[in-house]
Amino acid sequence: MRIIAGSRKGARIFAPKGLDTRPTADRVREAAFNLLGPDAAEDATVLDLFAGSGAMGLEALSRGAAHATFVENDREACRTINRNLDKLGLDDATVLCQDALTALRADARQGTRYDLVLVDPPYRRFSSLQNAMIRHLPDVLAPAGTLLVETAADEEPELPLAKRKSRLYGAARLTLFEHE
């Protein structure tokens, strides 16, 4: 895996060992940022939920994000995110090694807002998590913010936000949402 664009373009990043984490493929990550637009990450505050290796949030930081918060409950994956941040020399980041829904609820309660929210739960789990996330995702998304959800190709996310685009990339579906 490597960073696709920005200040760390071409840098290789680590992925957690084992089969518990499915890093977003380089071409899907590139497609995601193409969908978001060239300046989507510029000076943005980013929330990377179900971060895994941190590839999506790292890509946002490389593309000029002001700060990224990575949320991942797997300890090995959290160590990998920290390793990647160190390797890339990126320090405008927070790594929360905890359950994504717990972190989401806490941010909503505290009034924390993000310009770009990246949600990439384990495939085939989005539908079981969707109802819990519906309550809090709109609250943590800044008024002019964008939410990107990556799911399995046959899962169509439904959230109480305006759906801007939905595209298929092999086994993945990328769906963009924003406030109405």
Would you state the pLDDT for residue 17?
76
CATH number for the domain spanning 43: value is: 3.40.50.150
- Report how far apart the first and last C-alpha atoms of the chain are (Å, whole number): 35
Query: Residue 18 has what pLDDT?
Result: 59
Residue 158 within any structural domain of the chain = yes
> What six digits make up the tokens of 169?
């990339």
In a domain, 84, yes or no: yes
pLDDT averaged over 10-residue windows placed end to end, the chain, 180 residues? 94 78 75 93 97 95 98 94 97 96 96 97 81 92 96 91 94 93
Q: What residue has token string 């290796």?
A: 53
Residue 95 within any structural domain of the chain: yes
68 is a domain residue: yes
Whether residue 71 contacts residue 100, with contact meaning beta carbons closer than 8 Å, is answered with: yes
**Domain enclosing residue 146, as ranges:** 26-178
How many domains, the chain? 1
* pLDDT, position 21: 56
Q: H helices within the chain, ranges in order?
A: 26-36, 55-62, 75-88, 100-110, 126-134, 137-140
Which helix (H) or strand (E) segment is 172 a member of? strand 172-178
Residue 139 domain-assigned? yes
- pLDDT, residue 20, reads 55
Identify the pLDDT of residue 92. Answer: 95
Residue 12 lies in a domain: no
Sheet holding 172-178, edge to edge: 93-97, 67-72, 45-49, 114-119, 141-152, 172-178, 162-169
Whether residue 18 lies inside any domain: the answer is no
